[in-house]
Structure 1
Amino acid sequence: MKKLQLLTNIEESYDELRYKTSWPTKKQVVKSALLVMIASAIIAVIILIMDQVVDRLMHFIYSF
């Protein structure tokens, strides 16, 4: 009985992925990937700047 339920679930999942899911085009995927890479680079630069500011502040505080 459980095997039958598992097969039914797999079949329903396949049908939903095949017929009901809208997949992005290659152009949309490339555009989204570029957007994610640019956003990640900007966030990395912001974190780097914050890290440098805190590092210099700590060196200034502990230099006394």
Structure 2
Amino acid sequence: MTVLRTVERFLRRHDMPRTKFGRLAARDPRLVDDMRNGREPRKAMRERIEHFMNRYEGERTHADAR
């Protein structure tokens, strides 16, 4: 699965605006728009994005368990 597809699924699952995702994941509110227009993030950025999504979902799961 591509990074963009993974991000798109994350956005839908968490009802998160694309600009908020970009700011939180990479301090770049245009990140998702740029990827939709063909930007391919480098390995370090892909790892940063994946780390953000994993951490966010982990925190949400932990908060839901309370």
Fold conserved between structures, TM > 0.5: no
TM-score bin, normalised by smaller chain = 0.3 to 0.5
Comparing both structures, which one devotes a greater share of its residues to helix? 1
TM-score, normalized by length of structure 2? Answer: 0.38
